[in-house]
């Protein structure tokens, strides 16, 4: 009887600890850049994004970029809103909101209707914010005040999306 109770306790503890190791799968953003050469020459916004979800319809690895040819002042004019990425199922926006710059990424995929092939697409969405001081603080004076050049970059960060279908992976499993 004691052996059965001990075995039950060990199995329950193992199952509980295995469930605790499951973590949400983030989106990994790399090489985020925003820049212009000087006022009035347009602006560029670009980054790479990866979803390593086990669900093949949900997973992606793509680049997002936008050139705003009417951008005059670095990061404040002609910024991207709902622009498609190289994977057309992804769109992004990166814009000022007062004291922050906000990055929104939306991924439409598969079907979240009543059957596998009917209904609206699944919608995963994530938001990340950057301090306005971080973004605008990197603007440099160039060419003896004939224009301003600006740039902002982040090498890597993770966004945790709100997912239509949860995606988890075991963090420390072998």
To the nearest 5 percent, what fractions of the chain are helix, strand and coil? Answer: 15, 45, 35
Phi, psi at 2, each rounded to 5°: -65, -40
The answer to the question of residue 151 being in a domain is yes
pTM for the full predicted model: 0.80
Indicate whether 57 belongs to any domain. yes
* Domain membership of residue 40 as a residue range: 25-169
Residue 174 placed within a domain: no
pLDDT digits (tens, 9 = 90+) for 2-53: 655 544 554 444 544 445 567 889 999 999 999 887 777 889 999 999 998 8
Residue 84 belongs to a domain: yes
| Residue 153 maps to a domain | yes
| Number of domains making up the chain | 1
Q: Answer yes or no: is 20 within a domain.
A: no
Closest CA to 87 of 111, 115, 59, 67: 59
Residue 14: inside a domain, yes or no?
Answer: no
* Domain annotation covers residue 6: no
Question: Whose CA is closest to 149, among 73, 95, 94, 47?
Answer: 73
- Give tens-digit pLDDT for 81-137: 999 999 999 999 999 998 899 999 999 998 887 666 678 999 999 999 999 988 887
Q: At 155, which CATH number?
A: 2.40.350.20
């Amino acid at each position: 009887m004691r052996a059965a109770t001990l075995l039950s306790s060990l199995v329950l503890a193992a199952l509980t600890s295995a469930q605790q190791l499951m973590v949400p799968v983030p989106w990994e953003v790399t090489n985020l850049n925003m820049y212009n050469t000087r006022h009035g020459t347009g602006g560029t916004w670009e980054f790479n994004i990866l979803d390593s979800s086990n669900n093949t319809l949900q997973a992606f690895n793509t680049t997002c970029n936008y050139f705003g040819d009417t951008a005059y002042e670095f990061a404040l004019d002609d910024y991207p809103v709902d622009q498609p990425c190289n994977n057309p199922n992804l769109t992004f926006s990166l814009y000022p909101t007062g004291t922050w710059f906000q990055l929104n990424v939306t991924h439409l995929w598969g079907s979240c209707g009543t059957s596998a092939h009917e209904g609206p697409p699944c919608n995963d969405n994530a938001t990340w914010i950057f301090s306005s001081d971080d973004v605008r603080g990197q603007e440099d004076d160039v060419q003896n005040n004939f224009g301003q050049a600006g740039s902002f970059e982040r090498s890597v960060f993770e966004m945790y999306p709100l997912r239509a279908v949860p995606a988890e992976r075991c963090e420390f499993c072998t």
